[in-house]
Structures are given as C-alpha cells and as structure tokens.
Amino acid sequence: MTAKLRHFAICVSDLEAAAEFYQKVFGLERVGEETLEMGSGVYLSDGVVNLALLKGSPGSAMDGYVGSHHFGFIVEDSEAAAQAIEQHGGKFFFSLGDPEKHNFEQKFKDPDGIVFDISSKGWLGSSRD
C-alpha cells in the first residue's frame, strides 16, 4: 500500500489571525473554509500539503483546545488501507464529510490512541504527487 502524508490539523484560538500568520510568514494559500457542528476550519496549502486550522464550537470536545490535533494520509484504496490499519492494531473512529468530495476522511486511532485520517480524494490544496 502506498500512502502520502498530505494533511495536518491544528487547533487555534483565532482562525483569522492564525490564517493571516501562516499566509504572511510561509506564503500559504487559503484554499477553503467550512463550518460544521463541531467547529470551524480554514484550509491553507503550499500546493502539496493541506494545513487545516480548526476552532471548536462552544461545548464541543475541541472547544478551547490549542495545539496539534491530527494528521492524514492520502491513499489509493481506502478499503485496503482500512483493512491494513485494523490488521495492525488500529481502530476505526468515525468518517467525516461527503465521500464524493475532497476533505472526506475516515478517522482511525493507532494502537496508542493517536488520531489520524485516510482519504482517497485528499484535502483541499493537497496533491497526490
């Protein structure tokens, strides 16, 4: 199985201030944003990797959290990747998004409980290459 690390998510206290910082300092491009029940996100990219800046909604599990949240791999075959993950001690956590669009991810926990994603479509601004 081939996988490429293409997504990092961090929780921030102020989405717009964080986006401005990463855009001005590192030249990242804003490629999207969304608001979900659990929180909001601004997506930045260097053309290869998607950096998701997240802020939890009041009362959500992410509310008030600042720091690294999760990372994601783009995979050729999500079903094969899921089987390999579970065969090696990982556990399915939940799916998020529309399976027909970018940003759809299946979340898993590794044997230590660290959350990571797999996606066959990738994330806004991420590249297969």
- Write down all domains in the chain, each with its CATH number in brackets: 3-119 (3.10.180.10)
Local confidence band at 127 (pLDDT 50, 70, 90 cut-offs): confident
Average pLDDT, the chain: 93
Indicate if the pLDDT at residue 74 is higher than 80. Answer: yes
68 vs 9: CA distance, rounded Å:
6
Phi, psi angle pair for 69, to nearest 5°: -120, -55
Query: What value does the mean pLDDT take over residues 80-93?
Result: 96
pLDDT computed for residue 28 by the predictor: 96
Phi, psi angle pair for 111, to nearest 5°: -60, -20
Span 46-70, pLDDT tens digits: 999 999 999 988 988 888 889 999 9
pTM comes to 0.84
